[in-house]
A = this chain, B = another copy of it.
Amino acid sequence: MNENRARWIWYPGDLELYHAMKQNFSRVERGFSWPAFWKSEGFRHRVAYKRDYQLEGETSFTVTVPPESSAFVRVNGEKRPVGQKIVCGPGAVSLTVHIGRIIGVPAAYIEGDVICSDEGWMVEDYCEPPVPAGSNRYFTEPDQQVDQWPMLEKAYEPVSVETVNGGALYTFETELTAALEVLPLGENTEPPLVYLGESRAEALDTARCYYFCRLDAQTGRCPRQALRYAYLPGVDPAAVRVRALHQYVDVPVRASFRSGDQELDRIFEVAAHTFSLCCDVFFLDGIKRDKWIWGGDAYQSLFVNRYLTGDREIEQRTLTALRGNDPVTTHINTIVDYSLLWILSMAEHYDTYGDRKYLDQMLPKMESLTELLLSQRDENGFLIGREKDWVFVDWADFDRDGPLCAEQMLLCAALGVMARFAPEDKAARYREIRDQLLQNIELRFWDEGRQAYIDSWTSGKRHVTRHANILAILFGLVSPERQRVLARSVLMDPAVPAITTPYFRFFELEALCRLGYLQEVLEGIKAYWGGMLKLGAVTFWEQYDPALPLEQQYAMYGDPFGKSLCHAWAASPIYLLARYFIGLRLDASAPEGYVLEPAEGFFRDLDCAFPVGDRVLKIRMRDGQVKTAVLE
């Protein structure tokens, strides 16, 4: 037996879609579930796995399928049951594993000396031509259930226990995604209620706490949930033992950062912990809320992830899950700009890892999504939303009359990606549309007097926000000279309304880095992220207003504890520090997979490490100079 080669196989993308649905339906708020409000893509229910062998001798194999499957194996035209040893060979053997399954993905596992579910199986869905079957490193054992993503577990003891208002309050050293366990439970009494909080205030506010549940009477546990604090009203801490069983997907952090600046080191460390918690089966926005897979958040996660884990699989899982199936009819998360960011994500991913196979697999879906976008252009060639589409860009006070300039900038960038990767005849068309669009943007949205791009050309208000101007810089849609103009006339002009969301602040900070405003960015990082640390943050928050005291930091979206205190997009210092200060650019096309050009004057003595492909680049700076940069 060569069990090491075999793994579960499925229609590529379908296990991702199944688990993405599980993820997007997993949000819980005050006793009810809140499924994400966009089209949820189904997985295929009926597939056939195919492979031909030329067998030198007799061999045997066994096919395992998940529970509640309808399945059989066709061996050279003869039908055989699954779950039993099948003997065949020598000679030509043509195999088809037929599976139908309603409740979950019709996956298969094939064990045998010669015939097994390793690389080489094709799968078809009775609609498209056969494609190579999908698999991953998490599902390799025949007794696994593909409906359950395997998690690692680590038990945490509380770091403090207090009695508050006649109940027990437990504090853990940091935020976790954990199943709280309380043992022993009293016999013949209802198990206690548990109130979990990202903040102490939240756990103790039993009336308004975001998450509460009753412990399971059998196990004494709650379902896995984000928590740092746990409050059990009416419970005597002396009578029970409480643990948090932290459950997490195996996506190891492979980076480290020691700059000598303790604040900066701590920012990196807390950002790394924050991001790591949000690396679940997919990139999540936050671990308490929304626990949904958002295309915009995922796009930003790509930048951090490549420097922190270098795990290409979580990127591919997320991008695959976001995109769903063809024919495409709706935008990612219903948001037109998230469809555009998804196309940009594919280029970001490819440039980092150079995985042409994945790009080729997804290229038809990049093209069909591009065609959907192009079908939504108005008479001037500007992209507009259809009814039910959400043209988001950012929570900002845009002049939303007619087409929005920022959306056109994103479309130009996406068309640039398609012009790079599509087959040449299509690429030429995308290039032509892009060039025309750039001209039309210039004609309609450029304000010569303001030296800026305006939101709307139809309203006559000529309102300027930062967004379109930032995107023009980020995606190189205007000349370097114009970029410098925009920096002065928009980014550095306090009269242009400030960006209010950390989401778009990430884009602004990167634009500033590109244009050399590193000192301003570093000060910004220390003020914003350092400010959270000063308030005791152990993970970085969805949003932070330095003007407010700690007790007013928890509210958001009109909810007293609505703010996520562990939010992926808050990990951006990892990217900004690595990419622009350490100057490490990950580039699969470079000879070693990276280019290192540290900015001068920021670090004296630095020891850091970042993943580059399968290896780790260890960088050692002394007296402001790189002493060693070694791939290990």
Interface residues of A (CB under 8 A from B): 18, 21-22, 24-27, 29-40, 42-46, 48, 69-72, 79-82, 98-104, 125-127, 129, 327, 329-330, 334, 387-388
Min CB distance A11 to B, Å, is 12
5 contacts between A and B (CB under 8 A): A25-B70, A33-B69, A35-B98, A37-B48, A37-B98
Q: Which residues of B contact A100 (CB under 8 A)?
A: 21, 24-25, 33, 35-36, 40
* Alpha-carbon separation in the docked complex, A81 to B30 (Å): 9
A102–B22 CB distance below 8 A: yes
List chain B residues, Cβ under 8 A from A31: 81
Q: 20 additional contacts, CB 8 Å, given A35-B71, A129-B388?
A: A18-B102, A24-B100, A25-B46, A25-B70, A30-B79, A32-B71, A32-B82, A33-B70, A33-B72, A34-B70, A34-B98, A38-B46, A40-B44, A40-B46, A40-B126, A42-B44, A102-B104, A103-B104, A129-B387, A327-B327
Cα distance, A29 to B74, chains bound together (Å): 13
A18 to B102, CA, bound (A): 8
B70 touches A39 (CB 8 A): no
Contact residues in B for A40 (Cβ distance below 8 Å): 44-46, 100, 126
A31 closest partner in B (C-beta)? B81
Partner of A39, one of B22, B26, B125, B387: B125
Q: How far is the CA of A515 from the CA of B39 in the complex (A)?
A: 53
List of B residues within 8 angstroms of A46 by Cβ: 21, 25, 35-40
In the bound complex, CA of A196 to CA of B34 (Å): 48
A34–B72 CB distance below 8 A: yes
B70 x A26 contact (CB < 8 A): yes
B39 and A42 contacting across the interface, CB-CB below 8 Å: no
A39 to B45, CA, bound (A): 8
Give A33 to B69 CA distance when docked, in angstroms: 8
CA distance A39 to B102 in the complex (A): 13
Distance in angstroms from A78 CB to nearest chain B CB is 11
| B contact residues around A21 at 8 Å (CB) | 45-46, 100, 102
CA distance A82 to B32 in the complex (A): 7
| Complex Cα–Cα for A338 and B81 (A) | 30
Taken together as a complex, chains A and B put the C-alpha atoms of A99 and B34 apart, in Å, by 8
Q: State the Cβ distance, A198 to closest chain B Cβ, in Å.
A: 20
Given contact pairs A102-B18, A329-B327, A126 touches B70 in the complex (Cβ within 8 A): no
Q: Is the CB of B79 within 8 A of A32?
A: yes
Nearest-neighbour CB distance to chain B for A322, whole angstroms, equals: 15
- Alpha-carbon separation in the docked complex, A46 to B36 (Å): 8
A321 to B7, CA, bound (A): 34
> With the chains together, A352 CA to B362 CA distance in Å?
48
CA distance A40 to B45 in the complex (A): 6
Please measure, in the bound complex, the distance between the C-alpha atom of A626 and the C-alpha atom of B164, giving whole angstroms. 91
Q: Which of A43, A45, A327, A334 has the most CB of B within 10 A?
A: A45
Bound form: Cα–Cα A81–B34 in Å: 10
Chain B residues with CB under 8 Å of A329's CB are 127, 327
Rounded to whole Å, the gap between the CB of A28 and the closest CB of chain B is 9
CA of A33 to CA of B33, assembled, Å = 36
Complex: A24 Cα to B99 Cα, angstroms = 12
A403 to chain B minimum Cβ distance, whole angstroms, is 23
Q: Which of A26, A29, A40, A125 is most buried by chain B, counting CB atoms within 10 A of its CB?
A: A40
For A388, list chain B residues within 8 Å (CB).
Answer: 126, 129
Task: Please give, as numbers and ranges, the residues of chain B lying within 8 Å of A125 by CB-CB distance.
Answer: 39
For the complex, give the distance between the alpha carbons of A81 and B32 in Å. Answer: 5
* Contact (A71, B104) CB under 8 Å given A38-B126, A127-B39: no
Instruction: Please name all residues of chain B whose beta carbon is closer than 8 Å to the beta carbon of A98 when the two chains form the complex.
Output: 34-35, 37
Closest to A81 in B: B32
How far is A45 from B24 in the complex, measured between Cα atoms in Å?
11
Question: Closest chain B residue to A43 by CB distance?
Answer: B42
For A334, give its contact among B82, B101, B102, B126 (CB under 8 Å). Answer: B126
Smallest CB gap from A22: residue in B: B102
Contact yes or no, B330 A32, CB < 8 A: no
CB < 8 Å: which of B37, B45, B79 contacts A29? B79
Bound form: Cα–Cα A25–B71 in Å: 9
Q: How far is the CB of A209 from chain B (nearest CB, A)?
A: 15
**A99 surroundings in chain B (CB, below 8 A):** 35
Closest chain-B Cβ to A343's Cβ sits at a distance in Å of 20
Of the listed residues A38, A70, A98, A104, the one surrounded by the most CB atoms of chain B closer than 10 A to its CB is A70
A100 → B minimal CB distance (Å): 3
